[in-house]
Structure 1
């Protein structure tokens, strides 16, 4: 991947040119995949994944509501009428294909023929419905988007919320609890969704609930020794728990995006420590590659490098913005495009040595590219 854009001129800032090249690859290569070969015009849905070699759809086993919502977010960010029109198609499909008219809420997935496949009601999916509707409402002003946003929020608080300030990770189709502990990842994406909803609605409910979520996450998921947010509650058997460096960076960026809401939060203070821990134990400084998972003591657990963790690392470095972080961002910028991007798209997973471990390109990944690239400096 050549990170120098064709229109770079002599004397141009190499760093700015490299950032521009990332965005050019995103606009010119990534997005057209999902209005072209990645779009099933019959189903009016994105395919779940494309081949990394010939950019053709992989055999269809399912379509997920979350994947549709992520693509709705992506195309709600695009300039021009084409992006707006595609976002409108995705918004219609989100409600038309996945809304459970009988029980309420959204089912997890449908099959290749459009019939319900997994009717679980999971928090992860509903968080992305709120997030995507906030983005689409901001872009279009659609009253339907605002209504869906409000309705999904009410449902989350009525059905998923628990007495300790957290949320069930998943419920049956009729909203019966399925058991199991809360999980940080869907709660993180609910935090992201409520931040977006607060931005577009200004409703104080979201600010109050975000403060409550931060306090509950601090009490339940944070390892006092490192400040890291574990994937499962800290009361879980430590050997079965883990820390994902990419999630430390993602949480850091989310809280840093709203200092007025979180500046006095103990969670924000913990994440300042978690950032350093994740950097020390989870980043290979020879390639700036971010490992998938660590044990709680920082020892390696899963060394595979997933592209979303690389982009969350870059976003956190840009958001942090001090001289050390920007130096690391410069090193990341030299390594990431050559390792993860190619003329036909991207590599989803690499080994530490750079071997492609997962060749397909999921429809969910452009969301991570979009949120990271939006945070990168433009000059």
Structure 2
């Protein structure tokens, strides 16, 4: 494992110079590991455990969007070659095989060896990462205005005015809308909307993000003992038994997904700050809600004996899937840092250090890459993930504590706020 001299929590003190130097080194290692993901055919491709490309997985929209976004961060960190990766990703999103020039929008997956893996569906989840990539590139000074305008226009197809939420999946030509509704794409569209507001100043982005947060968190999750329902019927009624027959689904798992409680908690802090900037006032429930979500994750899912957060629970807080996923601990790192900054409560700094200690001991390998899935004992596992395709969560984890938590990572880097 790639560790400091020890993995005691005190070695990850949030504001220590030694920890910040370690974070800087880890970010560079992550970007180096991800270099082979650049696909000469266009976009970016899945990586296996050794960091070798897996072309058989095809070109996946969520992954291309995330890699392009991470290249923006790498460029702003001053890493050579990252600007070229940004342009490569933007070009693929503009004109590559994922773009549907006939009907509009972007396909979910193309070019996979298994024909059943390819999908010409149009999902708001993947489009959220097109917006994240385009908005971050625009904010960082790249010529991305055309792509940015395109994805904003396309996303209007999913926006349901009466619900104040984004729907999930259209068919290829936008004639059939799937009745399923999901919280996950809406969460990532809150994230992307915050960045879009920084990129163009349009308050519509904050209005929509606020609408989503109120519906999912204030109206539903707060009334559900802070266990966040992920799946909904067409009328946005929670559907708590959705996915019971496929509990290990990548993107629609059964039960309550703990990592999303943590992710939402961090986004609420940024959204509350954006509301104050735009409206002069903010929803007063947001910071307390962030604390409640973090506390529920700790109470239900943190394993005091073995460490790490379980992946999912039932609606009474009993663990359903006890595997440890890299993105969950990465979000615990980011949210504990954000809560420490806005509250000053030392307990959150301790959770930050504890989360990093677990990640360093169990997830991070000698080359700086993160094992994506572990069992409850912290040993390499599979079942949901294979390989190491996802750079986005781990890279951001190295930056959250070094930047203002009330801005996007892109904005913080662009403004020179990196500590």
Q: TM-score, normalised by structure 2?
A: 0.80
**Kept in 2: contact 1:227–1:271 (CA 8 A):** no
Name whichever of 128-137 and 19-28 sits farther off: 19-28
* DSSP-derived class of the 2:193 partner: helix
**Kept in 2: contact 1:226–1:273 (CA 8 A):** no
Which residue pairs with 1:298 in the alignment? 317
> How do residues 189-200 of structure 1 correspond to structure 2 at under 5 angstroms?
189-200=188-199
Shift of 1:223: 4.9
Q: 1:362 aligns with which of 368, 383, 388?
A: 388
Counterpart-to-counterpart distance in 2, 1:166 and 1:126: 14
Counterpart-to-counterpart distance in 2, 1:119 and 1:216: 29
* DSSP-derived class of the 1:298 partner: coil
Instruction: Summarize the Cα distance change of 1:12–1:228 in structure 2 as closer, same or farther, 3 Å threshold.
Output: closer
> How do residues 168-247 of structure 1 correspond to structure 2 at under 5 angstroms?
168-218=167-217, 221-233=220-232, 235-240=237-242, 242-247=255-260
Instruction: Summarize the Cα distance change of 1:179–1:162 in structure 2 as closer, same or farther, 3 Å threshold.
Output: farther
* DSSP-derived class of the 2:256 partner: coil
Counterpart-to-counterpart distance in 1, 2:12 and 2:66: 34
The alignment status of 1:342 with 2:403, answered yes or no, reads no
**Kept in 1: contact 2:370–2:394 (CA 8 A):** no
Q: 1:351 aligns with which of 357, 371, 375?
A: 375
Write out per-residue CA displacement over residues 164-210 of structure 1, whole angstroms, 9 at most, x where no aligned residue.
11121111011133433311000000000100000111111112222
Specify every segment of 5 or more residues in structure 2 that has no aligned partner in the other structure, as ranges: 6-10, 243-253, 276-281, 403-417
* DSSP-derived class of the 2:157 partner: helix
Write out per-residue CA displacement over residues 12-49 of structure 1, whole angstroms, 9 at most, x where no aligned residue.
98954234324313312x212332x33332x1332212
Which residue pairs with 1:318 in the alignment? 337
* DSSP-derived class of the 2:192 partner: helix
**Kept in 2: contact 1:226–1:274 (CA 8 A):** no
Which residue pairs with 2:279 in the alignment? none
Which residue pairs with 2:22 in the alignment? 21
Which residue pairs with 1:161 in the alignment? 160
Q: 1:285 aligns with which of 288, 298, 304?
A: 304
Q: 1:258 aligns with which of 271, 276, 290?
A: 271
Ranked by relative contact order (alpha carbons within 8 Å, sequence separation 6 or more), the top structure is: 2
Which residue pairs with 2:250 in the alignment? none
Counterpart-to-counterpart distance in 2, 1:243 and 1:109: 26
**Kept in 1: contact 2:362–2:379 (CA 8 A):** no
Counterpart-to-counterpart distance in 2, 1:110 and 1:57: 16
Counterpart-to-counterpart distance in 1, 2:219 and 2:357: 38
Counterpart-to-counterpart distance in 2, 1:96 and 1:323: 49
Q: TM-score, normalised by structure 1?
A: 0.88
Shift of 1:141: 3.6
Shift of 1:89: 1.0
Shift of 1:229: 2.1
Name whichever of 332-341 and 54-63 sits farther off: 54-63
Shift of 1:59: 5.2
Which residue pairs with 2:410 in the alignment? none
Shift of 1:295: 0.7
Write out per-residue CA displacement over residues 319-367 of structure 1, whole angstroms, 9 at most, x where no aligned residue.
000200111222222222120011232211001101211384333x211
Write out per-residue CA displacement over residues 99-131 of structure 1, whole angstroms, 9 at most, x where no aligned residue.
110001111111159x99311000001111111
Write out per-residue CA displacement over residues 237-292 of structure 1, whole angstroms, 9 at most, x where no aligned residue.
54446221110110111110232345415455434322211111111234441111
Name whichever of 215-224 and 350-359 sits farther off: 215-224
**Kept in 1: contact 2:269–2:290 (CA 8 A):** no
Which residue pairs with 1:373 in the alignment? 398
Which residue pairs with 1:8 in the alignment? none
* DSSP-derived class of the 2:118 partner: strand
Instruction: Summarize the Cα distance change of 1:215–1:334 in structure 2 as closer, same or farther, 3 Å threshold.
Output: closer
The alignment status of 1:274 with 2:300, answered yes or no, reads no
Counterpart-to-counterpart distance in 1, 2:169 and 2:274: 27
